[in-house]
Chain A
């Protein structure tokens, strides 16, 4: 391992650049800004899961005193279905234009139908009630099984699967070897079917924006998202305003987890602002967030794994049906592509099906699809290991992917750290510790692993030396996990100065070059590449300036500890020139010092994690609690260990919620019945134990600091680790999430064979 251990700032737990604003209440999130003359926008939403919109009459609303503008789908740029896909990243604008505002049909309860801007929120709400929508209510389906029935109402009639109109809107498969041949060699074959419920990303900050459109069309968007450039591009597409006229300013983002990688409000607020001539602010209620944004897919997965007596997996088959909601786009790539990837399996077929149904359009959620697939695969692996009487970690080690393994989704692995995560889990104090006495409650331990692709992609940075010799770094990625702290560490390290002299900010769309979404665990990987190259250019300039002053060759100047020095005694005897001194001399020596780099970054290595979970189950109440948890992950290089651990701990907490409590519950009428934090039960502080982290550092050789993405892997193994621990405690397997108290009691009280069906 070529980990450099003498770094001054890389690997240090420095204070994050945005921290002071956040602990004092100064930080400006999306809903925290106002503008002179500002008015308020509200959305009228469909009450029906599925309905044809025959007509909309907005005349009464328009006449209400205080109402300044009304928009409907007629105001949104249409992307006709038959003209084919218009892609922005993974989003098809044909679906986006219909998701932000229903066109011919409303496809879920909460689907926007019209929007109003008025002088107060109360008037805007009142005006929404005055809009008359003539609906033809249609049959609907929400659950996957219902959407796949032969007589199921089809959301998008144009879509055909196997030659017939269908709600199956996409399929992909990854294949390796021949599974039929593989299963013939197996001594043990286990097949199980699993279901998971839709769960929401659960960011605490609701979607919000404030938008001003000047009479010449110049538009300023202040909003919270995982990509100001995505906001600009989507708003441009959906309103017809050119990108050059839209300045999208990234507010601090109060959590996203993938859910803020698409727009909901911005195009509507832009059109309302344009029509009214007034800045328009829109803020979703929590109920709107729960009904109309995200969540991730519910799912139904069947996984079959065959192994020989000596513990070698010879074949595996996974079929993953994921609920897309109103429009195509389930994360089947993550489910089918990641679930088996920690293992070297000679014969593999992994299939994903994208299924539309009448709930809100799916949005990315932390390693989209991968946790759903891993839940099924890692639970079956636990059963196979048990059938073989093998320790579950030894079973994983025996089948672990390593350098040279060909993954079914394509790549041949370079040096990866999966084995190291399993070995570290095995050697952890947690795995060796006795479970302890539950005093009447039953305790159990489970393990699971997970993989996420990680990503590179487009990033831009500008690094400028201020006139007083300090540093300002501007990048283009909203910071949701502490990436600014990582960038400050890296830039300070390269320049050899105190990290507090480096100010890191996130630029808006008109002040920094294009930078793709904050997503895919790409931000620190990609932005540190462009910041490193920019800083290296600056160091080159600083050496040239010193050389000019000393009248020697730039190659004879080295940069060290924040100053230029003669590279060797042969270069001459000169007092070092510090960054401050060179900044002061800049005007006379060639001008301002700064550099920008823009790249489509490559070389993101995938990430692997292995988790160990202890649970305690109250068999009278059906309450399962996680009482100890250890997350092990190959993090490449922990640039700021505090925020790497934070990613691991936060991902685990979300997974525990998904495993034990979180789920969308629907009424008989097809509406979300728990659209608030009281009934949509995310983990609170008293639900969780401390979450121990073991960071394995196998540096990424294709990255200047060895960085690998870390944000998404930690959610992938959790549900299986919890499920396997509950099995270990109770001796009963669960095949459905969440394992909430009523469902645990149901299994505990059922005859044994039912539990396994």
Chain B
């Protein structure tokens, strides 16, 4: 079967790529687009390590077909920092030891950013339920939840 040509926007940049019709967005990101920050932990939408946004909506890129990105705006972990300047969530994760092995970190950050865009003042419970689709096996989530809440507080103050 012939490959499909897709035109999309990734992290603000116009982008074109070829993919199989059956390729997931995660396949395209990690393959032809060489954006390996999104991880595959399960390929079934259960772990959230491949979290991205499409037009600001949080999705598991393993559950979305690559061709569905045609004409839409995709954002991945690689687009979270602005050049040398980290996003406040990235900075806070570093300062508060909110990562260990790091395999879930990309997805956690993308999901947390999506949360704070929607809800700049989340309660602990809201953070926990929002991030319930992002598995972390190392941290017990404690420091992740604290880092998200503290970032939210700082972003509100600034």
Contact = CB atoms under 8 A, between A and B. Distances in A.
A25 B51 CA distance: 12
Given A257-B137, A677-B135, A29 B103 contact: yes
A687 B128 CA distance: 8
Contacts of A170: none
A392 to B, nearest CB: 24
A481 B43 CA distance: 25
Nearest to B99: A22
A255 B100 CA distance: 8
Contact of B102 (A252, A256, A691): A252
Interface stretch (A428-436, A567-575, A638-646): A638-646
A640 B37 CA distance: 27
Interface residues of A, number: 58
B139 to A, nearest CB: 5
A351 to B, nearest CB: 32
A15 interface: yes
Residue in B36, B43, B145 with the greatest tally of chain A CB atoms within 10 Å: B36
A649 B139 contact: yes
A685 B97 contact: no
A742 interface: no
Interface in B80-138: 80-81, 86, 90, 93-97, 99-106, 109, 124-125, 127-129, 131-138
A35 interface: no
Residue in B35, B102, B105, B125 with the greatest tally of chain A CB atoms within 10 Å: B102
A717 interface: no
Contact of A481 (B42, B77, B100): B100
Contacts of B97: 13, 16, 482, 640, 642-643, 645-646
B145 A690 contact: yes
A652 B103 contact: no
Contacts of B41: 204-206, 254, 286, 677
A688 interface: yes
Contacts of B38: 25
Given A204-B135, A643-B97, A686-B128, A23 B44 contact: no
Q: Summarize B's interface: helix, strand, loop or mixed.
A: loop
Contacts of B124: 690
Contact of B47 (A19, A640, A646, A677): A677
Q: Summarize A's interface: helix, strand, loop or mixed.
A: loop
A642 B143 contact: yes
B45 to A, nearest CB: 8
A650 B76 contact: no
A29 B137 contact: no
A203 interface: yes
A616 to B, nearest CB: 14
Contacts of B39: 29, 31, 204-205, 254
B143 A24 contact: no
B120 to A, nearest CB: 19
A204 B145 contact: no
A27 interface: yes
Contacts of B95: 13, 15
Contacts of B137: 201-204, 255, 257, 650, 653-654, 682
B142 A255 contact: no
A206 B62 CA distance: 15
B49 interface: yes
B128 A676 contact: no
A20 interface: yes
Interface in A671-685: 676-678, 682-685
Interface string A424-453: 000000000000000000000000000000
B141 interface: yes
A173 interface: no
A685 B134 contact: yes
Contact of A23 (B76, B86, B142): B86
B140 interface: yes
Contacts of A203: 101, 103, 137
A23 B100 contact: no
Nearest to A285: B43
Interface in B41-61: 41-44, 46-47, 49
A581 interface: no
Contacts of B43: 285-286
A18 interface: yes
B135 to A, nearest CB: 6
B115 to A, nearest CB: 11
Contacts of A32: 30, 36
Interface string A626-659: 0000000000000010110110011111100000
A640 B100 CA distance: 13
B73 interface: no
Interface of A: 13, 15-16, 18-29, 31-32, 201-206, 252-257, 283, 285-286, 480-482, 640, 642-643, 645-646, 649-654, 676-678, 682-688, 690-691
Given A682-B137, A685-B131, 20 more contacts: A16-B99, A25-B106, A204-B104, A204-B137, A254-B41, A480-B138, A482-B100, A642-B97, A642-B143, A643-B100, A645-B142, A646-B138, A646-B139, A649-B143, A676-B44, A677-B47, A684-B135, A685-B129, A687-B132, A688-B128
28 contacts: A13-B95, A19-B93, A22-B99, A24-B86, A25-B80, A28-B36, A31-B39, A204-B47, A204-B135, A204-B137, A255-B138, A283-B40, A286-B41, A286-B42, A480-B101, A481-B138, A642-B143, A643-B97, A643-B100, A645-B97, A645-B142, A646-B97, A649-B142, A676-B44, A682-B137, A685-B144, A686-B129, A690-B142
